[in-house]
Structure 1
Amino acid sequence: MLAGLGFALAALCAGVMGFAIQRGGTCTVAAVEEIVHKHSARRLLALGEASLWVAGGLLLAQALHMLPAMPAGYALSGWTIAGGALLGFGAWVNRACVFGAIARLGSGEWSYALTPLGFYLGCLSVGPLFGAGLQQPLPQGSPVLQAPVWVALLFLAFAAWRVLLPLRMPGARRALAERIWSPHAATTVIGISFVLMLLVAGAWAYTDVLAELARGMAASLAARTALFAALLLGAVWGGWTAGRWRSGRISAAQCLRCLAGGLLMGWGSLLIPGGNDGLILVGMPLLWPYAWAAFLLMCLTIGAALLLARRGRP
């Protein structure tokens, strides 16, 4: 149970994550759209960099003997593949992944409030529909956490280079002001904030809270719900300060799309298991094969859906 300064720090980190998600337009659907339409992988590489920052933060925490218990990995199976495809199709239907839904809410697109509800309903119904039992955790630990201490020192060198390089470029101050919330900068802030929150509150993703709530397993529900509220408030503050707040009328079609997209992502999340936020910030940094495979299938499914939709237009 979180209390006092620990909870305040965790809530601050959640708020900063929400702010960065909104200001950086962090979204897997947007990343794949950029590849399909602009032939650029900048946003997708930025998501990968978030995983790198988390992995490095975990190595440093372990070297300092500050690392809490980490979630287990899961076997790569047919359910993983099906879940990744469903997660991607749901994100395409929703027009935003679970990160992107937070960014859209932060811009005043209220129909995206139905995405978490749809996600919860998907987690609630996945068992009766698919007959899938929970994936069995792997007995062995993550290869990342078995790495020698010198790997953590390499990460420190990378972090120093990544932070100092932009400051040494010509016109650094002006360029820094322009790029402060670029996709790479935003995902770096997301990764660092997540590690700090992990050290205080344990591994946390809002989709995990919804999934555990649907299965009647959510512990410290009040505190974890408050962290979700801090995430949303951070996103709203990001939208407001960036001048992106556009609270407007919503349609029945928008609401149905967000509910259906959330439902599909909920199904995929429990089959994998894990939403794309958990995959990027937990499974992929820990080098779990199931997480990398599921995220790859998610991206391929989004890409295929975008290409088919474009071909079907007159």
Structure 2
Amino acid sequence: MSEFLINISDMGPVAASLETRASMALIAALGFVLGFAMNRGSICTVTATRELVSERRPARFIALIECAAWAALVYAIVETAPKTQEGWSPLGYLVPAAIFLGLGTYVNGACVFGSVGHIGNGELGFAFTFLGMYAVVYCEALLDLLPHQPPTSAPPSFELALLALALLAIVALRLAISRRSESNFRQLTLVMGAIGITSAILTILAPGFSISASVGPIASIPVASALISVCMFGGSLVSARLRRHGFLLEWPTMATIVRRTLAGILMGLGALLIPGGNDTLLLIGFPTGAWQAALAYVLFVATLAALIVKFGSMARPWS
């Protein structure tokens, strides 16, 4: 599909127009489902880390790996390798980038998944997190300060049958662990599947898309990034409205604006240097077996865990 869009000028004007509209409609629908699922699942790496280190509950971390397994399954089924516009950075950039990402996520109180969900709940302060991230991406694109790595495209690391068995094993493990403590097992399973599947398909249709840097240029469809972002936040908003009887917008204080913007800048720096936020690490790096993604994610989570143990969690309760 994405190759077709890149070469759309080779088609007749009528066919090209119809194909473009159909592709945009599909991208919009997938973006909506992605945002809806993020809000409905209340899934966030900060929450998962807090539950792991403070409450010894690993179920949400297992769910995040489950999400990555769903994405890998999609890549294997369609036999299409996920592509990144920039290759993984060398260790000199990767290590501090992961620490920046962890520090910014801690200050923010939510990762990119959780931030989308909080915005859907009406917590407008989290919009400044994305403003900070986008400012970093925009400034780097304007000034071209960093060396660029060649794009990477690695095929999924495992066979389809092995991925399916691994996914079943992950779900079974989470069921065994969360049987007594997790009341929403079925909903979380559906949410992880929805996020993994829609993210993988969006990565194929719009190569290079990242929630953490979605104002960056998209080579194949210039407006795809903005369309996905708008529909994603719209889906999160609709999800919150459906599961809550009342809905109020929470206007941020000046202190909240400063903190969220600073957090977004730190998260943006990390995502720029890796390149990619925790969404890219989980949904592109893990399925392709990239050791750089595994290392960055471990350092990112370790930074979060150390800060939570030392200072406590700054995560907002899920509304």
TM-score by length of 1: 0.80
Unpaired runs of 5+ in structure 1?
A: 166-176
CA 70–248 in structure 1, closer or farther in 2 if over 3 Å, else same: closer
Q: Which runs of 5+ in 2 are unaligned?
A: 6-18, 173-182, 314-319
Q: How does 1:1-314 map to 2 (within 5 A)?
A: 1=5, 3-62=20-79, 67=80, 70-71=83-84, 73-125=87-139, 132-137=146-151, 142=154, 144=156, 147=158, 151-156=159-164, 178-182=184-188, 184-210=189-215, 212=216, 220-243=221-244, 245-310=247-312
**Contact 1:59–1:144 at 8 Å: present in 2 too?**
yes
Superposition deviation, residue 160 in structure 1: 7.4
CA contact (8 A) 1:106 1:245 kept: no
> Cα deviation per residue 1:142-187 (whole Å; 9 max; x = unaligned)?
3635x5xxx2133345667889x8xxxxxxxxxxx954432x4322
- One-letter identity of the residue aligned with 1:289: W
Give secondary structure in 2 for the equivalent of 1:186.
helix
Q: Matched residues in 2 for 1:113 and 1:272: separation? A: 22
With a CA cutoff of 8 Å and minimum separation of 6, indicate the structure with the bigger relative contact order. 1
Q: Which amino acid aligns with 1:200?
A: L
How many Å apart are 1:303 and its aligned residue? 0.8
Give the secondary structure class of the aligned counterpart of 1:256.
helix
In 2, Cα distance between the equivalents of 1:271 and 1:202?
A: 18
Measured after TM superposition, the shift of residue 5 of structure 1 is 1.7
**1:268/1:69 Cα in 2 relative to 1: closer, same or farther (>3 Å)?**
closer
Contact 1:68–1:202 (CA under 8 A) maintained in structure 2: no
Q: In the alignment, residue 24 of structure 2 is paired with which amino acid?
A: F
Cα distance in 2 for residues equivalent to 1:185 and 1:273 = 29
Contact persistence 1:75–1:137 (CA under 8 A)? no
Amino acid at match of 1:225: A
The alpha-carbon distance between structure 1 residues 277 and 119, as it changes in their structure 2 partners (threshold 3 A), is: same
The root-mean-square deviation of aligned C-alpha atoms, in Å, is 3.1
Q: Is the 8 A contact 2:87 2:151 kept in 1?
A: yes
Cα deviation, residue 200, structure 1: 3.4
Total equivalences in the alignment: 287
**Residues 158 and 116 of structure 1: CA distance in aligned 2, closer, same or farther (over 3 Å):** same
Normalization by structure 2: what TM-score?
0.79
- The superposition leaves residues 96-129 of structure 1 with CA deviations (integer Å, 9 ceiling, x where unpaired) of 1111110100100001111111002223456999
C-alpha distance 117-302 of structure 1, shift in aligned 2 (>3 A)? same
Change in Cα spacing, 1:78 to 1:90, as seen in structure 2 (3 Å) is same
Deviation digits for residues 46-94 of structure 1 (CA, Å, limit 9, x no counterpart): 11111111111111111xxxx2662364254121010000001000011
Q: Say which SS state the counterpart of residue 239 (structure 2) adopts.
A: helix
Contact 1:20–1:181 (CA under 8 A) maintained in structure 2: no
